[in-house]
Amino acid sequence: MDLKSNHSAPVLTDSAPLSKSRLGGIMKTGVLDDVRSSGWLDAMKSSSPPHKKFTKDLNHELSSPDPEVAYRTWLLKYPSALASFEQIANFAKGKRIALFLDYDGTLSPIVENPESAFMSDDMRSAVKKVAKYFPTAIISGRSRDKVYEFVGLTELYYAGSHGMDIMGPVRQSVSEDHPNCMKSTDKQGNEVNLFQPAREFLPMIDEVLSSLVKSTENIKGAQVENNKFCVSVHYRNVDEENWTAVWECVQDVIKKYPRLRMTHGRKVLEIRPMIDWDKGKALEFLLESLGFSNCDDVLPIYVGDDRTDEDAFKVLRERNCGYGILVSRSPKESNAYYSLRNPSEWEFPRTKFEMYSSFDLVLLEFKGKKRFLKDFFIYAVK
């Protein structure tokens, strides 16, 4: 495991663009900090969803004032998984399918309170159905326990903390490559494999959690979430004028921990161990654990919506094995091959969130012994 312990300062990943607005930034801790914080402030503003660069050709159409035209143009590059079902099904012939799902924004809608990101019963039963036929795992930024609490299906494998806490199938030989891998039992008493590559960071993460809870307590709306091997600081419910204060709280804490880094998600700053591990690595680890490493007869499908899912999409693309499916209603650059449309948080008024319960994921079905793919990810966007 590559623990990069020699850094003398926290590394700012997902570097935010520095814009002209930085000139008007708050000059509290000097010019450099101002520039960095304003760059981050811009990124914080656009973080849900992140705005990414597009290729030149697409750019013209994507800047169309008609969002539908922009979306249709983008679909040329990231075709709908649903419309491409026949193509995917043909490719799946004779192959073993494994399904990997992100949680927030993929199985559950993005909502204001992270504690209320429940998945609908329809979605749960669709996932349950598919897991009957194909090994299915959830890979989330949440703590493993939390995501299990939300999903509540015993038949799945769960990876929490962006893949740094994996409960998966028992592996035959692992100990040399993965010293942090051990046999364990799940809640039902089944033998499983527990892999926690950042285990040694737990005391550090706990300290950071306590510090951040304390330092953000006076920022109205700020929420600090314990994700076991990561800490999330949510600013979705913080007045925009106080976002800099949130960013500074995070900076103040992590500057004391050179082995931690900060990343940026949907209206959330995340602090995590600086180890060479992400959702892509977790995906590879799970494939290996399932005995699915050989690309010739395996078709992994990964469905996700956020930038952390890009690591997994990239792994599939680089291995030329399986498909990444990006859940997005708005055009964005991705390593995924296909897309599925979901109602996006900024287009749909919050009061319409209950509509999500009717969004269904109707999945694959077997007939007899032969794999017969009946419906694939029907996403009923009303």
Ligand X SMILES: O=P(O)(O)OC[C@H]1O[C@H](O[C@H]2O[C@H](CO)[C@@H](O)[C@H](O)[C@H]2O)[C@H](O)[C@@H](O)[C@@H]1O
Binding site for ligand X (CB under 6 A): 102-105, 110-112, 114, 117, 140-142, 225, 227, 232, 234, 236, 265-268, 270, 306, 308
How far from each other are the two terminal CA atoms of the chain, in whole angstroms? 46
Residue 324 backbone dihedrals phi, psi, to 5 degrees: -95, 140
Q: How far, in Å, CA of 268 to CA of 218, rounded?
A: 17
Which residues 6+ apart lie within 8 Å of 133 measured at CB?
97, 364, 365, 366
Minimum CB distance to ligand X, residue 227 (Å): 5
State whether the Cα torsion 224-225-231-232 is positive or negative. Answer: negative
Q: How far, in Å, CA of 95 to CA of 93, rounded?
A: 5
Residue 134 backbone dihedrals phi, psi, to 5 degrees: -135, 140
Concatenating the DSSP letter of every residue in 246-260 gives HHHHHHHHHTT-TTE
In the 3-class helix/strand/coil scheme, how is 288-313 assigned residue by residue? HHCCCCCHHHEEEEEEECCHHHHHHH
Which of 102, 248 has the CB closer to ligand X?
102
Where do we find the tokens 């809870």? 213
Task: Check if 102 is active-site.
Answer: yes
Residue with the shortest CB distance to ligand X: 141
Minimum CB distance to ligand X, residue 157 (Å): 14
Minimum CB distance to ligand X, residue 262 (Å): 13
CB 287 within 8 A of CB 97: no
Residue 52 backbone dihedrals phi, psi, to 5 degrees: -115, 170
Minimum CB distance to ligand X, residue 267 (Å): 4
Catalytic pick from 34, 102, 165, 311? 102
Minimum CB distance to ligand X, residue 226 (Å): 9
3-state secondary structure of 154: coil
DSSP state of 240: G
Q: How far, in Å, CA of 372 to CA of 379, rounded?
A: 19
Which of 97, 268 has the CB closer to ligand X?
268
Which of 265, 322 has the CB closer to ligand X?
265
Which of 34, 225 has the CB closer to ligand X?
225
Looking at the DSSP bridge assignments, the partners of residue 194 are 167, 182
Minimum CB distance to ligand X, residue 111 (Å): 4
Q: How far is CA 250 from CA 89, 114, 232, in A?
A: 46, 19, 10
Instruction: Name the strand (E) or helix (H) holding 212.
Output: helix 202-215
Looking at the DSSP bridge assignments, the partners of residue 166 are 159, 195
Minimum CB distance to ligand X, residue 300 (Å): 17
Q: How far, in Å, CA of 180 to CA of 174, rounded?
A: 9
Which of 234, 341 has the CB closer to ligand X?
234
Known catalytic residues are: 102
